Structure 1
């Protein structure tokens, strides 16, 4: 007979996964929403909606499929938004979020689209992601001319922690940055506002140019860099998840949360590894409870998310930018490894990477889309010349 309460390792695995997932990248999400023109209150609503969607959907999915379904917000998606959408109105951004969620729902509903998505050249998608993320980490070192102490501290902590406690590296970087900022008295007065989570709906405005330029890349980086690796993590843990229903579930969760400011909800990859291995629960068939605990912790975070957002808003821009730059280094490493993994696709991948990282904006369309187009054209030219030979 099973114990009614999950074992202690299940609680600790879920809690650590939440702390790493939230603490390591919340600065990036806050920065992205503020770049989009969201107010402090709207940014709080966005984080609240993300936490609620991740918590509720993760709990329901884990109980339904009897697997530890661990969800996250789209970190590369937030980076994309922060890098390419300055000046976009908040209502238009909400329309972009809704459109990207609808695309994910279509992939989940139509099996042939799911199969096509899984066959998309990984080198090109990863190159686009690397190009989107690169400017953030370059900004980290540009800040060295303004605040060498902060940059040096964060880089040293990151390198040391990656050697000793890699899973906790970003959490330690966040803690170090906050402590230094507090010690120097650089934090501004925390803006007044609600203590508990509040959802502020906004009527979306659908701008075709914004959807093509931002919504399509947001959908693609979320699918290729988050959802597909999340499925791989579950399969590596010995589960056999059906891709369609999970993509459909994350798409619907994103769609419902989008009017409140949530940019994208997806399967987690890195933190999911903490919740799907045998250390989290010895019984493979009962390990789904870790997904339920993980979701419950996110519901608690949703309750107090406005306070956490206001703390980050009060931090100096240099601190937020530096924390973001460090937080994205692991994602850049993974993207570059995937980008260069296929020797035959390296030239198109490098072209995609350079075009995206350049910040090219043409005809109102952003660099991420032009990078994808450049990469696909390069792939097409290679294929045609090979066939002619």
Structure 2
């Protein structure tokens, strides 16, 4: 039975605060990673700003329309694991080729949504292998955090102390507190310089895509898989845990189409949120489950504001030293790395395949112009196939 709610009653204050906190955590906690990913792929300052603007617009428009249409709080986000994958591919492709890989990944998500047999098959992808690939992608960033001690020990130590304490006392705000502490240190030292001026409003700069089979294989396919397994499927679980039972198809198809339309402007992945969605889908956000969809609309409104003023926000992060961006990114990915490692080791019978996937991906090896994420998946699936083949013989 579809959920219905009157729009005449004003949303409670909790709906506004929950949506604001979710937007702030989702944007502020990981935007340094987005900036680093796009710059590593060769995007200039204007193109990085365009990418963030496009991502925020996709989250706002697509999420708001889905919340209105389905009458449930649909909370979207950009693909953080996907951005980490892109950083790992830095220097391997040009910006137009990266745009082509974004389009390919979005097209795969759309095809998955409209072909029922593929949708069912996707839900059977071994979580151990997919999580191992994600862990292999994230590990180098966390290692780089500690390597940054050699060049900026003070900043890294301050960030680590704030992170450890905040994770114990205020886990929801840990990344925001780390970001605030990092900015404070940089301001006190006068380390924020360059990238001044420019428009105060967000802008969109289209780029003609170039399709390269190696980029589609090494970036597009892993980007599709990591977004599906680490963002969309957990996002569906969050909605179901909150008492909603949406059909996956319209959610996957809508976010896939949003990415497809916005990819030429730099959007690498618009998808369901998981952690921030939990903030907006529980009773703390709105006491009435039937009226809780309004929280998704308010959340979308905040992202529309972020899209409007994305350019100065991006320029601010571009003014940070590369060591600061590396440290902030490494800390932001500690929790996702922990979750990925835990998930990849849950199934004991699949641990060998998971470790092979993890090691191959983390190695950064590139063969035939194809990146390590693909080879990690290939190693893991090959190990699982051998395991199943021997099991059938016995």
TM-score by length of 1: 0.99
Task: Tell me by how many angstroms 1:380 deviates.
Answer: 1.3
Tell me if structure 1 keeps the 8 A contact 2:41–2:89. no
1:95 matched to 2:100: yes
1:3, distance to aligned residue in structure 2 (A): 5.2
2: CA distance, partners of 1:25 / 1:175: 13
Cα deviation 1:353-385 (Å, max 9, x = unaligned): 000000010010000000000001111111122
Corresponding residue for 1:332? 337
**Which residue is equivalent to 1:68?**
73
Of stretches 205-214 and 292-301 in structure 1, the one that deviates more from structure 2 is 205-214
Select the residue among 228, 233, 237 that pairs with 1:228: 233
Residue 129 of structure 1 pairs with residue 142 of structure 2: no
User: 1:189: Cα distance to partner?
Assistant: 2.7
Aligned pair 1:49/2:54, yes or no? yes
Matched, 1:158 2:152: no
Q: Deviations over 1:31-76 (max 9, x none)?
A: 0000000000000000000000100001000000000000000000
Distance across 2 between alignment mates of 1:212 and 1:85: 15
Unaligned runs of 5+ in 2: 1-5
How far residue 2 of structure 1 moved from its aligned partner, in angstroms, is 6.7
Aligned twin of 1:188: 193
| Maintained 8 Å contact 2:364/2:371 | yes
State how far apart, in whole Å, the 1-side matches of 2:245 and 2:82 are: 27
Equivalent pairs, count: 389
Aligned match of 1:350 in 349, 355, 360?
A: 355
What's the counterpart of residue 303 of structure 2?
298
Q: Map 1:277-296 onto structure 2 (within 5 A).
A: 277-296=282-301
What's the TM-score, normalizing by structure 2? Answer: 0.97
Residue aligning to 1:39: 44
Measured after TM superposition, the shift of residue 84 of structure 1 is: 1.7
Is 1:117 the counterpart of 2:156? The answer is no
Structure 1 distance, partners of 2:118, 2:274, is 22
1:274-323 CA-to-partner distances (Å, cap 9, x unmatched) read: 00000000000000000000000000000000000000000000000000
**Within 1, Cα distance between the matches of 2:268 and 2:258?**
11
Contiguous gaps of at least 5 residues in structure 1: none
CA–CA separation in structure 1 for the residues paired with 2:8 and 2:251: 29
| Deviation (angstroms), 1:85 | 3.5
SS in 1 for 2:196: coil
Residues 84 and 367 of structure 1 are in contact (CA less than 8 Å); yes or no, is this contact kept in structure 2? no
Partner of 2:387: 382
